[in-house]
Structure 1
Amino acid sequence: MRSDSRAAQVVALAAEQGGVVTSRQARAVTSVSVQQLKRMVDSGVLERLHHGLYRLARMPEDVHLEERVAWLALDPGSVVWERLDQPVPTGVLSHRTAAALHRLGDLDADVVELTAMRRIRLSLPAVVVHRGVLSREDWQLVDGLPVTTPARTIADLAAAGTDAGHLASVVRDALTRGLVTVEEVVAVLSPYAFDYGHRALDGQGFLEVLIAQAGVPTTMLAVADLVRKNSTTAAPATGVAPDARQLDVAALMKAVTESPQARDALMRTFAAALGQSTATASDTDADPGVAVSAQQNADGTSKTGSDRTARTARSARTVDR
């Protein structure tokens, strides 16, 4: 009877962690033995993923299973909720993996990349652990996983020497979706401008080249940034977060109504899209219907088809930044 009770506790523990549990967690929390874990595998309750890592059988497919397993393996003795209470939960998912989780750009994420503050070696295949400095402001939760923020992700990709074309697609999506501001991107790109052939610390020039390379009109970028800033300012005043799409449309309408610069920028963008002259567009008055169309246009701009390719098995290695 005691064995059945411990098995039930292991199942409950795994369920709280997205269906995955380590043998060290199970032993620490439920006092289950290695032999009992083996019997749970033999009876079909658990599936063995790797040495010391198990998954509940017959669970719905987890599209982030590889990322979840890799993150758990960084600290297999601590349960998830304890780690997430820490300023830095023994490393976070980063670089290309973070870009994929945020749905930014069109990078191939064929390995799981993480960043930890100390050297950690994992025996898992297709996992890379970078070493770097992290703070609580550098990560956020995405589908229950700790992931570097969009701004930190851009900085990590630039530091890693990601080719400018792919970096541009990440920056484009982050900006047009309002996940970062222009100022934030300039700040994180500045230290790496010289490495990409720009003047030292010229983050603004670096960003302008990336935006041009990504094919985003600067007028649309200006409007997207206005939307983001208006949305951020308006949120605390209401106390209730409205639907994201409604908030964006309302903020865009407000920006276009109150700002002649934003209205002119929007008109120039429409003129370019419709093949009309800039002069004709600048004389056109914006109305709410136009603003809604602009939001639809901005939504279309942010789609990049960033479906991830199948992962290939690679040896795990630790990379020092």
Structure 2
Amino acid sequence: MTKMMILMSFLLLLLSPCVFAQLSINFYRVSCPNAEQIVKQVVREEFAKDSSITAGLLRMHFHDCFVRGCDASILINSTSSKSSEKTAGPNLTVRGYEIIDEAKRRLEAACPSKVSCADIITLATRDSVALAGGPNYVVPTGRRDGLVSNPNEVNLPGPGQSVTSAFQSFKAKKMTLNEMVVLLGAHTVGFAHCGFFSNRLSNFQGTGKPDPTMDSALVTKLTQDCASGSNPKTFLDQNTSNVFDNEFYRQIRLNRGVLKIDQELASDATSSGLVSNLASNPFQFSQSFASAMVKMGRIEVLVGKAGEIRKSCGAFNSA
């Protein structure tokens, strides 16, 4: 074999989607060429009926990746003998499972046992962000599905935490403070039930008064909203609620953050400068968000022969 042939063989190996069993762009180009288009079509159909799916899928993706890595462990259904991550407190309000299930159904019909549920979550989230006006970024694929789903392992940063406390969770996943601030920008299309912030409206930290860092007009509005129904919900971005943009950062700079963690992003000395920059630069937010999502999507992934490719996203193959 000549040196040129050796070099060409080496280059072909590097271009192979399975090289070193790592994630790669167009991982399914041979095994399931239309995989990404199939997922995109499902998301497009669902988005046309309910544009709030972007927030749901973003939350699902985050909750999945921060527990055992991006392995679709959040999708497993509990059985009569064993509970799954779905039953953990922070996951009780996660939604969008039917979107992943439908995409999986169509993928199994086209390419049986080829596309992982973990990759479907990642692709569907990306597609929903783009449909909402956000960046349409490229994501590497090749994740495999996990074999464990334990509700006791669900330990996620909460809406009432400080910036410092929340960052410890992100740091543990090798995410930077800047990436945390950027990823929380997903709240631009999110919403929260009143139970997650009602303590800020009337008796903040036992003072008998609202949180002084919340805009008084917003306090009045949210108090009225939360007085109706049973634990109703409100948008976290009170301005362009259904559009994926950088308005969230402008809102929290005006003391219009609904969740404690959101408002503290704008006031904490470690993050306020980042918030100010993102509030004034929509292009930077878009680019930074795409980059942070790709990085988050790599957290502790299973590749190669690890895990499995589930036939049904809600159950292990051995079930």
Larger Rg, first or second structure (1 or 2):
1
Return the structure number with greater relative CO, CA threshold 8 A, min gap 6: 2
